[in-house]
A and B are shown apart, each in its own frame.
Chain A
Amino acid sequence: MTSSGTSGVQSQSPEEINPEQQIALEEYAEHDMPVHEAVLPVPDPGVEEHLPRLADVDKAAADRVERQVVTMYLLVPVMAVLFVLSYYLIPRTESIDFGPLHSSAKHVALGLTLGIGVLLIGLATQQWARQLMANNEVVEERHPAHSPADANEEALRQLNVGIDESGVPRRKMLIFSALGAVGILAAPALVLLTDLGPVAGPNYRRKTFETTLWKEGIRLVNDITYTPIKPEDLSIGQLLNGVPENLKELSGTEFNNAKAKCPIVVVRMNPADIKIPANRQDWQVSGILAYSKICTHVGCPISLWEQQTHHLLCPCHQSTFDLADSGRVLVGPAARALPQLPIKVNDEGYLVARSGFPVPVGPSFFERDSRHDLGQSQEYR
């Protein structure tokens, strides 16, 4: 175990000029520049001198390392036995408390025994490799990635022989019919792709994900309990998570598809504190406003509403909408204002929708009809 034999690179003496330094010197001379030693590239220091470890020179030390490694390996079966014993012997109801940490005794024992066992294998192997296995530094030069030129020529020659022997150059129909036979198999595969669903053209989008259950006269009801709401039930600062009353008639997939789009948040604010644009004056009932609950970014349901700041915050990416200002975006990745649902009071005194949502609810997508949107900037900035 000596260092000189296998080391591939000899260390250089400082006086020698290496090729990089030679290039630099020539460039400096070409441009008539003064040469200082400091600007020359640092000489290649070569591989560090190999120094023996304690276990390489001292037999007693090597024996000690061997004992350590063997002891660690021998502890692994002990851990395995303890694991099996704890599995059968510790009752499931037993628990241990480490301060505030309340744990099942069985799980702690299983985790500790198996974990320590695996750790011991790693530690022992690593100690063996670090202290006892040969540790000579070796330099492996890079090889060119391409094959030698004669191998390339030989491969090409064999390929041409193969093409010639197959008869293709003389009988062209063979290769054309073969390629046609394989190519036509794409047709069955493409037909199966239609099972992914209908093509989402403008008409299909308008009828499906750009529309919701809301239309004129549909009552606003509490989500979960479906109780209808009167304006006098809502006090200032109130938040209500609502759905259209006709959601109750649906079930299964239809229900889930509808509920992904139609939920609303209804809030009541002091009309003196909020900005209602002239064209939305009849969309609200004395400070009661209804907005889509689906974030315009990627469609998370939002109901984190701060009653004093009037901000509605999306829990997914922190888009913040100002419900006191037409639901416009204050901060966050959402680009479009939260769609507002126009509401009114019907003859029986219940809150109902004045119409459906004037713009599509939910997340943005490329072909979405965004002509009627209130953006982040526009007239409100």
Chain B
Amino acid sequence: MRLLSSRRRHPAAKALLLVAALFVIGAVYAAVAPTEQSAAEPNTSQQVTKGKELFSVNCSSCHGLNGEGTSQGPTLVGVGAAAVDFQVSTGRMPLAQPGQQAPIKPAVFTNDEIAALAAYVATLGPGPAIPDSSQYSTDGLSAEEIARGGELFRTNCSACHNFTGQGGALPEGRRAPSLVGVPNKHIYEAMLTGPQQMPVFSDQVLPSQNKREIIAYLNAIHSEPNHGGLELGGLGPVSEGMVGWAIGIGVLIGFAIWITARGARAR
């Protein structure tokens, strides 16, 4: 107590006292005040409520408190549950930092949390629902249907993703990702919702049967064994040319230097 009384005229005493008072009032209010009620609609399910909570904490700083969009992120009204499922379960969202393109990373949320987020965003406006497995399963497709999937892929997708789905470059540092090893569901959702620069291929124009054929084509070419040695990323002449010029011609230059070098002399 001697310390307190002797320092009571210290210049910082007033400010410290004010902070302490504010802290006490805040703590008392938090203990006494009633817990906040969610302003839920009477028929809103528990999942949507949970989704809204997750959304407010994790997404609203860019997409707005009601998903209306801000200068930092687009509106989510009408994007549908499929877009949320794709973006969040591939780890593209939540975005770690702004950039040309959202990178793929390990998913931050559990499946339940993703479902809750998707359910909440689906209530913002009508949009494509998460496809069920009968839509993207490739079981029972005939060879003819898979071949047609190849034609559809080369017509609609190969401009960006390369004709075997290896991915490719887009302007200004963006890129079309590789489709090797991407789950069927995510390929389907990407076609359905058009994430980032990718155009939409809606079910009305490209029915789910065609989408299944495309997925089956990708699975078929990606499961082919490769006994040809180093495929160099399968990007075509670009990667092969680079290896040819950098390594092949480099070795030849080395030999040329050796052949024309003067070599050791006896004195």
| A interface residues (Cβ-Cβ under 8 A, vs B) | 51-54, 56-58, 95, 101-104, 107-108, 122, 126, 130-131, 222-225, 227, 229-230, 232-241, 267, 301-309, 311, 313, 315, 320
Contacts and interface: CB of A to CB of B under 8 A. Distances in A.
A95 B227 contact: yes
Given A225-B152, A307-B194, A315-B159, A239 B200 contact: yes
Interface string B247-259: 0000000010011
Interface stretch (B36-44, B62-70, B86-94, B201-209): B201-209
B104 to A, nearest CB: 18
A54 B259 CA distance: 17
Contacts of A315: 159
A308 B263 contact: no
Interface of B: 148, 151-152, 155-156, 159-160, 170-171, 174, 194, 196-202, 204-207, 210, 226-230, 255, 258-259, 263-267
B205 A103 contact: no
Contacts of B156: 223, 239, 241, 303
22 contacts: A52-B265, A57-B266, A102-B226, A102-B227, A103-B228, A103-B230, A104-B228, A108-B229, A222-B206, A227-B205, A235-B202, A237-B200, A238-B200, A238-B201, A238-B205, A239-B199, A240-B201, A267-B199, A304-B159, A306-B170, A306-B171, A313-B170
Contacts of B202: 233-235, 238
B205 A224 contact: no
Contacts of B204: 230, 232-234
A130 B263 contact: yes
A290 B49 CA distance: 43
The dominant DSSP class at the B interface is loop
Contacts of B194: 237-238, 307
Given A237-B200, A239-B199, A304 B170 contact: yes
A101 B229 CA distance: 6
Given A51-B267, A223-B155, A235 B200 contact: yes
Contacts of B159: 301-304, 315
B263 A104 contact: no
**Nearest 7 A-B pairs (CB), nearest first?**
A239-B199, A233-B204, A306-B197, A304-B159, A51-B265, A238-B200, A303-B159
Contacts of B263: 53, 130-131
B155 A241 contact: yes
A53 B264 contact: yes
Given A239-B200, A307-B198, A224 B151 contact: yes
Nearest to A50: B265
Given A103-B227, A104-B227, A222-B206, A309 B197 contact: yes
Contacts of B197: 306-309
Given A53-B264, A104-B227, A235-B200, 11 more contacts: A102-B229, A130-B263, A224-B148, A227-B205, A232-B204, A237-B199, A239-B156, A302-B159, A303-B156, A306-B171, A309-B171
